[in-house]
Amino acid sequence: MALYSEKVMDHFRNPRNVGFIPDADGVGEVGNAKCGDIMKMYLKIEDDTITDVKFETFGCGSAIASSSMATELIKGRSVSEAMALTNQAVAEALDGLPDYKMHCSVLAEEAIQKALEDYYSRRDQTKSE
Amino acid sequence: MNIYADNAATTAMSQTAVKAMLPYLTEYYGNPSSLYAFGQRSKEAIEEARATVAKCIGAEPREILFTSGGSEADNQAIRSAAAHGARKGKRHIVSDAIEHHAVLHTLKKLEKEGFEVTYLPVHSDGIVRVEELAAALREDTCLVTVMYANNEIGTIQPIRDIGALCRERGILFHTDAVQAVGHIPVNVAEDHADMLSASAHKFHGPKGVGFLYVRRGIPTVPLIEGGAQERGRRAGTENVAGIVAMAAALEESVGHMAENAEKTAMLRDRLIRGLTEIPHSALNGDPRKRLPGNVNFCFEGIEGESLLLLLDDKGICASSGSACTSGSLDPSHVLLAIGRVHDVAHGSLRLTLGDNTTEEEIDYIIQSVKEVVTYLRGFSPVWRDLIAGKGSFIL
C-alpha cells in the first residue's frame, strides 16, 4: 500500500502554482521550521477575485501537495469563496490524507486565511490613508 | 537505476542463507522438541547454528540465546539485569541518549517501575565519553547499556573501554550490537560484554530472528513463558529455518568482513565527499568512528520526507530522521542529542551502503541528492529567507 493517494503524489511531484509573487496583495505564512512545516501563500487580487496565487512550502510530501491543491481550489475564485475553503475540502480534493497528515491540510487552510487577512488589512490601511 | 541504500533498515538475504534455510522449510520440518530422530534432526541444526554464531562473536554455544530479533534481545537483556539488580536492591541503570527505542522504551518502563536511569549525553560527534560514564556509576548501578554502533548516524562507541570499566566495577554490561554484528569485529570476550543483542536481517539473514549473548552465569528472565526451549529462557518452538539461515549469514558476513568493510568504507567516504559539496549541509556523527556503510547528512532549508519521496522517484531507497517519517512531531532523538536543532534535524538523510554497492551507484546518488536538494530549496520559504539574509544559516 502506498503512503499517499495518486492525487497527493501527483500534486507533490508536479506542484501547481509554485513560486512567489513579488507584488502580492496578500501574503500569509504559517507553521514553523521547528515542527517541520512552513507554508507561505501569495495572493494577487483584483475586483474581489483571486487572479493569481503562488506558494512556497518547507515540509513533507503531503504539505507540498496540500499547498498545491489549495492554490488550485482558490485560483479564479472570489475572496469570500477562498475564505470559506476548509482543510477537509483540501484533503478530499486530494482523495484523502493519512490521519497523522491531516494537519498539513489545516496549514493550507490557515495559510490562505492569513494571506486574505493580510489583504484585508492592507486594503483597510489604503482606505484610511 | 534502482539503488538500495537503506541497509541499516534491513539487508537482502544472502544466497548462502536462503540455501541453508530451505531444507528446514520443506523436508526437515520436525519439531526440535520431539524425541524421534526426525525431530532431533531439527534440534541438531539449531545446536550447530548455535555453535557457529558463538564462534563468530567469541562466545561459547551455551551463551547464545535465540530470539525473534534485536528488539526482543534488548528487552530481555535489560529486563534480566533489572530483575537481578532489584533482588540486591540495586535500581540504577546507566545508558545514553542515542539508544534504539527497543532499549529506550524498556528503560522508560523500568523508570515507571521505580528504577532510576541516567542517560549519558553524547558529544556532537555522537560518541559517549568513558570518563563521563565512569562518573555516572553508583553503588546501586545494576546495569550499563550502551549500543555498539548507532543505527542512525553509525557512530561506534568505545565498547571495549566501557566493558572493561564495568567488569572492573562489577556492573553488568549490555550492548545493543544490532548494527555492528557482521559488519565490524565484535568479540564478547575482548569487549568484556555480559550481554549483547543482534538481529539476523541486518547481516543478510532473515527477518524475525536474532540472538542474545548472555555470559555464562548471568541469570536471565524469560519474556515468553511456556515450554523448556532455550533451556527455559525463551519458550516457544524454535524458528529452525530462521536460526539456521542466521548462522549461515553470519558466518559468511564475518568471513568477508575485512574486505567488505574496506570497500564499503571507501564508497562511504566518496559519498560523504560528494554530499559535502552541497552548500549548507553537514555530516552527522564522527567521520571516522562510524560504520563502514553509514552516511547521514542534514541539509538546511528542506524537509526529509519530501527528499525521500523524490529520491524514491529516482530509484533510490533511503531514510530520514525527520518527524514526518517517524510519525511523531519530533525529529530523530539521535540528531537532537548530537546538537542538531529541530529546524535542520527535519532535513536529514540517511544512506546506508551494502556489500554490493558500486561506485557508479554512489555517483548517481550524489547527483540525485544534489538535484533534489536544489529543487526543494527552490520553493522553500525557509531557504528564501536564509539566502535573503533574514536569519542566519545554522549549517
CATH assignment at residue A50: 3.90.1010.10
Round to whole Å and give the CA distance between B175 and B192: 10
Of A13, A29, A33, the CB nearest to B343: A33
| Tens-digit pLDDT profile for residues B133-173 | 999 999 999 999 999 999 999 999 999 999 999 999 999 99
Q: A38 in contact with B at a CB cutoff of 8 Å? A: yes
- Specify the pLDDT at position B325: 63
Per the annotation, the verdict on B324 as an active-site residue is yes
Proportion of chain A above pLDDT 90, given as a percent: 88
| Residue of chain A whose alpha carbon sits nearest to that of B303 | A59
Confirm if B211 and B73 have CB atoms less than 8 A apart: yes
Q: Tell me how far apart the alpha carbons of residues B182 and B248 are, in angstroms, rounded to a whole number.
A: 11
Q: Examine residue A44 and state whether it is found in any structural domain, yes or no.
A: yes
* C-alpha cell read off for B269: 567516504
Q: Is residue B311 classed exposed, middle or buried when 0-12, 13-18 and 19+ CB atoms within 10 A define those classes?
A: buried
Can you give the residue range of the structural domain that contains A31?
6-128
User: Does residue A42 sit within a domain?
Assistant: yes
Mean pLDDT value across residues A27-46: 93
> What span, in angstroms and rounded, lies between the C-alpha atoms of B8 and B318?
10
Q: Residue A1: which pLDDT band, with cuts at 50, 70 and 90?
A: low
**Predicted confidence band at B334 (pLDDT cuts at 50, 70, 90)?**
very high
Q: Does A37 touch chain B if contact means CB atoms closer than 8 Å?
A: yes
Residue A54 forms part of a structural domain = yes
Asked if A105 and A88 touch (Cβ cutoff 8 Å), the reply is: yes
Rg of chain A over CA atoms, in angstroms?
Answer: 14
Q: Looking at chain B, which residues constitute the CATH 3.40.640.10 domain(s)?
A: 15-255
Which residue in A100, A34, A9 sits closest to B322, CA to CA?
Answer: A34
Q: Which residue has the higher pLDDT, B328 or A39?
A: A39
Residue B272 near residue B294 (C-beta atoms within 8 A): no
Contacts of B230 by beta carbon, 8 Å cutoff, 6+ apart: B65, B66, B238
Evaluated on CA atoms B161, B163, B169, B173, the torsion sign reads positive
β-partners of residue A52 are: A44
Average pLDDT, chain B: 97
Q: In this model, does residue B329 exceed pLDDT 90?
A: no
Residue A1 lies in a domain: no
pLDDT reading at B321 higher than 90: no
Q: What is the dihedral of CA B257, B14, B69, A3, to 10 degrees?
A: 120
Confidence of residue A35 (pLDDT cuts 50, 70, 90): confident
Q: Is the pLDDT of residue B279 over 70?
A: yes
Dihedrals φ, ψ of A105, to 5°? -70, -35
Q: List phi, psi (to 5°) of A89.
A: -65, -40
Grid cell digits, residue B188 = 564478547
Distance from CA of A5 to the nearest CA of B (A): 13
A39 neighbourhood in chain B, CB within 8 Å: 381
What residues does CATH 3.90.1150.10 cover in chain B? 257-387
Q: Do B313 and A13 lie within an 8 Å CB cutoff?
A: yes
Structure pTM? 0.95
Confidence of residue B326 (pLDDT cuts 50, 70, 90): low
Chain B residue with minimum CA distance to A39: B381
Would the CB atoms of A29 and B380 count as touching at under 8 Å?
no
Give pLDDT tens digits for A54-98. Answer: 999 999 999 999 999 999 999 999 999 999 999 999 999 999 999
Pick the CATH number of B15-255 from 3.40.190.10, 3.30.1130.10, 3.40.640.10, 3.40.50.12280: 3.40.640.10
| pLDDT confidence of residue A34 | 80
Instruction: Give the 3-state secondary structure of residue B238.
Output: coil
Residue from the list A12, A34, A61 with its beta carbon closest to the beta carbon of B343: A34
Query: Which overall architecture, per CATH, does domain B257-387 show?
Result: Alpha-Beta Complex (3.90)
In chain A, how many domains are there?
1
Rounded distance between C-alpha atoms, residue B166 and residue B145, angstroms: 10
Q: Check B382 against A34: CB less than 8 A apart.
A: no
Q: Per-residue pLDDT tens for B164-214? A: 999 999 999 999 999 999 999 999 999 999 999 999 999 999 999 999 999
Residues of A in contact with B302 (CB under 8 A): 58
Nearest CA in chain B to A59: B303
SS3 state at B313: helix
Query: Looking at the complex, does the CB of residue A12 fall below 8 Å from at least one CB of chain B?
Result: yes
Exposed / middle / buried, residue A92 (Cβ in 10 Å: 0-12, 13-18, 19+): middle
**DSSP readout, B19-70?**
HHHHHHHTT----TT--SHHHHHHHHHHHHHHHHHHHHHT--GGGEEEESSH
What per-residue confidence (pLDDT) applies to A112? 97
Q: Model ipTM? A: 0.94
